[in-house]
Chain A
C-alpha cells in the first residue's frame, strides 16, 4: 500500500505551500488534488499580489501580513511576479473622508503609499478617468497564481514531496480516534486505492466542508463567488485600485498580455459553481468604466469565476466575512491527526502554510525551522542561457518561455529548438508557444488533457482563444503517444468547450466574430462529430 506520513488534500496555493514547507523540513508528504493544480480559487482570481492597501482601513493585521508576504514572494518567486507597482485612485464620487483613514492605515501597517500628482497619475495611466481626484502609488504587483503553485510543487519535489493530481479523496480511515489512512479515486480512470497516513491536512479551500464531512466533522465554509473579466490587451500599466471601501469591480490587474478586472462577491452553495452570468459582467463593466471610461471599447477575452473559501462565522457573509484564515486541529473534536486550514488570501498563502506546518512539525517532532521565506522556489534561467537561446526563440517569446519553464526545462527546450527547426513551429501564435515547449510540457506525467498543458504554457489564452491552436495541440499531443491523447477528437472538443465556457456569457462585440469562425471551422469544415462512412 502507498504510504505517506502527511497527506495534504487540495492543490491550491495553501496546499502546495504546505507541501513545500513540510518537504523542506524533511517530512514525508504527499499532496492529492481531485483536478489539476489550482483549479479552484488560486487561479480563479485577479492575480493581484496585494500591497495590503486594500485592507489598510478594515483589517490592519491582514494589511501587515500582505506587505510582508508581498516582499517575500517577490524575492522567492521572481519569475511569477510582475513587479509593475500599483496605484490607488479616488474618484470624485468616492467619499473624501475615507482617503485620510486609508493614508493613516497604510502608514501604521507599513505600506509605502506615495502621493502622486494628477499629472503623474495620468502619465502613468493615460486612460484613467478624468474624474480621478487623488492618486497614490503602492507596491502592488501582478502574480501568476498557477506558476507560483507549480513552482511550489517543483521545489517540494526536490525535497521528496510528492503530488498526485486528478486524485480525489473518497474516504478517511480512522481508528481509535486517529487518522490511519485514506481512500482515493483517480478521477480520469475511476480506479480507487488506499493510502496509509497518520496526518491528514484539509487544505481544500471551498471544498473544506466536504472533506471534513468525510471524517464526520463540521467545518462551515461559505463559498463566495467572485466573477472576473479578462481583456485582450494591457489597458493599464500598473495595478489600479479604487480608493474607497472595498467593493465590486474596483481592481484592474495587468497580467502578461491581458488585463483582469475584478471582482464581484456572491454567496453560493457549491464551490464547483464557476458559472458566470451576463448581468455580473454588465455590473463589472459599468463599475469598471468609472475608473477607465472607454472600458467598453476594449475587447473582452473571457469571463471567469472562482469562489473564495470564507470560514463561516455567524452573521458575516460576503465582503463582511473575514479574509483572514483559521487553522483547526480536529484532535480537539476527537480525531487526532486531522487538521483543517481555511480562508486567507493568495498573497499570504506562504505564511498560512508556515503556521500550520509549524503545528504539524511539532506533532512529528521535527525541529527544522521554516525556510520557505528565504529559499527561491526555482532557480532563474541565467542571462547566458537566454543569450545562447535567443536566436531559436520567436520574437517576444524568450523571456516568457524562460519564466514559464525554469532553468532545466528551458535548457532542454533550447536544445530541441537548436537541433530541430521543425520544433520552432508556433503552436500558439497569440502567446508565442513553440512546439518544443509544448512537447516538453505535454510529456510531463501530470498532463492528461490539453487544458493541463494550457495552464502550464498559456496555450489558447490569448486573442484567438484556442481557435487556431486547438487542432495543432490535439495533433501534437497525439504525437506524444500518451494514452489519454489517443482520443484526439474528445481532447479537441473538451478544449474548445472549455474555451467556450468563458466566452459564452460575454458573447458580444468581436467575440461573436471569433466564435462564428470557430464554429465554421470545427463544426463545419472539420465536422468534429462526423461519424462512420456508410
Chain B
C-alpha cells in the first residue's frame, strides 16, 4: 500500500505507529516550554497510546495540552499528536464529571443566545461580567479573574447582517461567522461582507449553523462536538451541492471545519464537506491567483505587526493575509513570527492555566514591544484578545484592513 493511500485510510489514532520518538513535538510545544507540569506531547500522545493495554490509567497531565497544534505542525512523521490528546480527553470525560467552569467555557454559544434573548442583554451581561469578576465569582468556579471575559457587542453579527444591503450577485459565498465574531466582534463579519461585495460576491448566512465545536473539543465535550459537527457538515454539504463555498474568518473555526472534524471523528462526509470550506484569506488569495481579486487598494497608513495564529499555520496554506495585505501600496506590516499567543481558545481563561497561558505568550508580547506597531493584525479572535491583554495594543482582523483599503 502506498504511503498516500495509507494516509487516507488510517485514523488519527493509527498515526501513533508513525512516531519515531524524534522529539520535534517536544522541542516545539509551547506548553512544554512554559511549564514543567506537562509531560509533553510525545509521551501523552503517541507513547501512551501503546500502553493503554496495561491498566485503565489516565495521564495526569493530559489536561495541560491546549490543542494549539504545534506538535502536529512540527512533526515530520504525520502523527496527529494533539488530536490523539483531544480524543483521550473526550474519552476521559465520558466517565468523569465536568466542572461548572468547563461547562461555561465550552458553551459560550449557549450563553450568547441567552444574552441576546433579553432586552439590553449584552449591556447587562457585560456589566454582570465586570461585577462577577470584581466579586470573584468567576474565580470561585475556576475561571481566572486576571483577564476580562470577552465583552458582548451591542448587536450580534447575525443581527447586524439583517440590515446590511448587498448588491445581489450570481457569485455567492456562505459566511460562517463563528461564536466570537457573531457575539463579540461583529465588525470583522461586516468587513468581510464589504470585502466580498467589492469583489462581486454576495454573502449569505445560514441560521442553521452552530458553534464549530472547537471550545467543546478542548474541554472534553467530544460527543457534543460530534453532534455539532453533524449539524454543520450537513449544512455545508447542502451548500456544496449548490456550488456555494463556505468561508470563515476565524482560523480556529476554519481549522475545525476543514480538518479537525474528520481527524477527530473520521467520517467520510466530514472530509467531503471540508473540501467546500475556506479560510477567508485563503479564498481571497485563490481569487488573486486567478486574477479575480480587486487590487485597486487605497493606501493605508500606520505601522502594523502581524501575528500568525497556530490554527492558521496548521492549515498548510501559508500566511495568505500577509500576501494580500502586502499588495496595499505603502502598507507597512511585519510578521511577528513569535510563536503561540498562549490563549488557545478557552485554555487561558482557566484559573489554573492563566499563568501558563501568559508565559507562552511572553515571546510574542516581547516581540510586539520591540516592534512597537500602531496595531497588531491577526486572523484569530482569541489570539487578538490575548495580544490586547498582554500588550495593551489595539488589534484587528486583516479583513478589516482590507476593507479599509477598499474604501
Contacts and interface: CB of A to CB of B under 8 A. Distances in A.
A464 B21 contact: yes
A297 B1 contact: yes
B20 A463 contact: yes
A59 B17 CA distance: 39
Interface residues of B, number: 28
A397 B51 CA distance: 8
Q: Which of B9, B17, B39, B54 has the most CB of A within 10 A?
A: B54
Interface string B35-57: 00001001100111011111101
Given A232-B17, A233-B16, A429-B47, A395 B22 contact: no
A230 interface: no
Contact of A396 (B18, B21, B57): B57
A452 to B, nearest CB: 23
Nearest to B61: A395
Contacts, number: 75
Nearest to A298: B17
Given A463-B19, A464-B20, A467-B21, A396 B6 contact: no
B54 A429 contact: no
B6 A297 contact: yes
Nearest to B18: A510
Nearest to B13: A233
Contact of A395 (B20, B21, B50, B60): B60
Contact of A257 (B42, B50, B59): B50
Contacts of A331: none
Interface in B18-33: 18-22
Contacts of A432: 51
B20 A514 contact: yes
Contacts of A395: 39, 48, 57-60
Interface string A222-242: 000000000011100000000
B268 to A, nearest CB: 18
Interface string A436-464: 00000000000000000000000000111
Given A396-B48, A462-B50, A468 B57 contact: no
B10 interface: yes
Interface in B41-92: 42-43, 46-48, 50-55, 57-60, 77
Q: Which of B22, B50, B55, B59 has the most CB of A within 10 A?
A: B50
A365 B228 CA distance: 79
Contact of A233 (B1, B43, B50, B57): B50
Contacts of A463: 19-21, 46-47, 50
B17 A233 contact: yes
A517 interface: yes
A399 B56 CA distance: 10
Nearest to B16: A233
Contacts of A257: 50-51, 53-54
A399 B21 contact: no
Interface in A390-421: 395-400
A398 B56 CA distance: 11
Given A395-B59, A464-B21, A294 B47 contact: no
Contacts of B46: 463
A482 B77 CA distance: 40
A432 B54 CA distance: 11
B234 to A, nearest CB: 27
Nearest to A393: B57
Nearest to A235: B17
Contact of A234 (B39, B53, B59, B77): B53
A426 B6 CA distance: 33
Given A233-B50, A297-B1, A462-B50, A398 B21 contact: no
Interface string A191-219: 00000000000000000000000000000
Contacts of A371: none
Contacts of A296: 1
A254 B17 CA distance: 15
A237 to B, nearest CB: 9
A256 interface: yes
Nearest to B5: A297
Contacts of B21: 429-430, 463-464, 467-468, 514
Interface of B: 1, 6, 9-10, 16-22, 39, 42-43, 46-48, 50-55, 57-60, 77
25 contacts: A232-B17, A232-B50, A233-B17, A257-B54, A294-B1, A294-B9, A297-B1, A297-B6, A299-B17, A299-B18, A395-B57, A395-B60, A396-B51, A396-B52, A396-B55, A396-B57, A400-B55, A429-B21, A429-B42, A430-B21, A467-B21, A510-B18, A510-B20, A514-B20, A517-B20
Interface of A: 232-234, 254, 256-257, 294, 296-299, 395-400, 426, 429-430, 432, 462-464, 467-468, 510, 513-514, 517
| Nearest 4 A/B pairs, CB to CB | A396-B51, A399-B55, A464-B21, A395-B59
